[in-house]
Chain A
């Protein structure tokens, strides 16, 4: 049987050290060795039984229970003071055959893969590569677990696709200790796996679009995510360019997502009719303390896979544009060890161009994180049509109320169907600021105060917004979630109460859900 190690009085923290938080009991489950249970599905069901035992124990002790994986969220969305479950050793892949596909499914069997919750993006990419497949998108790096990604809405900058949760087609949840508490969820409108598959994992099937969409970005509140069905695609290559282009052009591209812009051209990325190719990925980097007439932009174009391309990892490893926090840290390395010194440096720093054009798979381009130390990161989602305005407001804000030791970037993500996805606009511009943590003083306002001022600024200027669930924010801002999602909040709560009794909801509630007002059960629940 899978076994769980427990550690008492643990100090839990996020990867970027935004805590620490005391935890009564930390639990870590290890799978039964394959020598004892050779079939992956048997090991999977054995692990499910172990999780159900842990849930029963938590219920009996009247304690809460939350899972965590790689701790990559900077907010305390994963935290629970009672019992926290480390699931990163739960990394099975269940093989799927044609017989496992639902008879009405329009999905291609060879593109569907089923992974256990703790499998990281890196592991998934490796498994897909062996089958000649690739993820459709990922975050800027690869260390997050699949369950963590979808629970918080991890995204890249794929404005014609979406975020990580948008390639998920099925979710296996464990919501309590009873046999009927193992649930396999899919959309009614998009069945993927057969009822026989659900039987193999000893789950009852629920096919319901509204419930699936609510559970998809479930913020950890829809039970223990045990397994996830994803849709991959044939492997492809990405060709990456770092360019410096006029600020106005960069922002017009952001505002319109129209890459046929007459003043924008990458000579190698033009089709036979002379039109610009449409990129797969677009990102703008902004130093708000030294705004130039030109911005650094990062573009990636999708190409057919061919073998024999030069290994991009050595260049990716040394590139300063691996992700925003890495860029910031690389610049900050040259600064004296004081915030004023750092700000002085930022005022002089001009972001450099990297002329090397890189080609690699998605997994190679978004390889291991370059920096995993202390950091803060705030991300707002706004309609991409407000990109320029939003960026200008934020830039003005840091110069007025700051300085804040951070840099900005803008990424772009297509709308998600998930009820509480923060990528909710037709194309969401993710306006992010990443940097090092600092001590508030008379000269420097606190991160919480700064976060509040960012929200105030967007509200005052009538820019509808959302915020990344896994990032730093003033999460106690009055009616914050309601302002961001309106009626969808009630829909999420209603679906949660349909799936789970109040007792079970409380089991998976945590201080984060309580703080943002999502821990309350909806009235008149109807159990499915």
Chain B
């Protein structure tokens, strides 16, 4: 019984932690020589949003406005879902949502 519950919890834990990225086929990230961490954002600007938003139980939509993309476009956007985020939403009945986004603006074609 306990073992089953632990297994279900582990499955839930792993399946609730994932990332999804969106990348434009023709775009290009803003170069940043100081961004050396291997991964999707290596060599390009990396802007992170890691916050908790408050919503009412009835809200289904939240628009987060970013102002730092001069080109008006985003090249790469990564959304990360974590177990702690799922847990937070669950114990607050959806009033608090953890948002973890990483993005790079599209490079202006000058």
Contact = CB atoms under 8 A, between A and B. Distances in A.
Nearest to B26: A126
Given A13-B36, A15-B43, A93 B109 contact: yes
A91 B42 contact: no
A411 interface: no
Interface string A450-480: 0000000000000000000000000000000
Contacts of B38: 373
Given A93-B110, A123-B28, A313-B25, 14 more contacts: A15-B43, A31-B110, A33-B70, A40-B110, A43-B110, A86-B31, A88-B31, A89-B30, A91-B107, A91-B110, A92-B110, A116-B110, A120-B28, A126-B109
A122 interface: yes
A120 B26 CA distance: 12
Contacts of B108: 91
B6 to A, nearest CB: 29
Given A7-B34, A15-B43, A86-B33, A34 B25 contact: no
Given A15-B43, A313-B25, A372-B42, A123 B109 contact: yes
A91 B33 contact: no
A224 interface: no
A13 B43 CA distance: 11
A355 B28 CA distance: 30
B31 A122 contact: no
Interface of A: 7, 13, 15, 26, 28, 31, 33-34, 40, 43, 70-71, 86, 88-89, 91-93, 116, 118, 120, 122-123, 126-127, 313, 367, 372-373
A373 B108 CA distance: 26
Interface string B11-43: 000000000000001101011011010100011
A28 B28 contact: no
6 contacts: A34-B110, A43-B110, A71-B43, A88-B31, A88-B33, A122-B26
A28 B36 CA distance: 15
Contacts, number: 41
Interface residues of B, number: 16
Contacts of B28: 120, 122-123
A26 B110 contact: no
B26, B30, B33, B43: most-surrounded residue (chain A CB, <10 A): B33
A367 B25 contact: yes
Residue from A40, A43, A91, A93 whose CB has the most chain B CB atoms within 10 Å: A91
A91 to B, nearest CB: 5
Contacts of B33: 7, 26, 28, 86, 88
Contacts of A127: 109
Nearest to B32: A28
A341 to B, nearest CB: 22
A15 B110 CA distance: 25
B31 A123 contact: no
A89 B109 contact: no
Contacts of B30: 89
B109 A91 contact: yes
A70 B43 CA distance: 8
B46 to A, nearest CB: 15
Given A13-B36, A126-B109, A127-B109, A89 B31 contact: yes
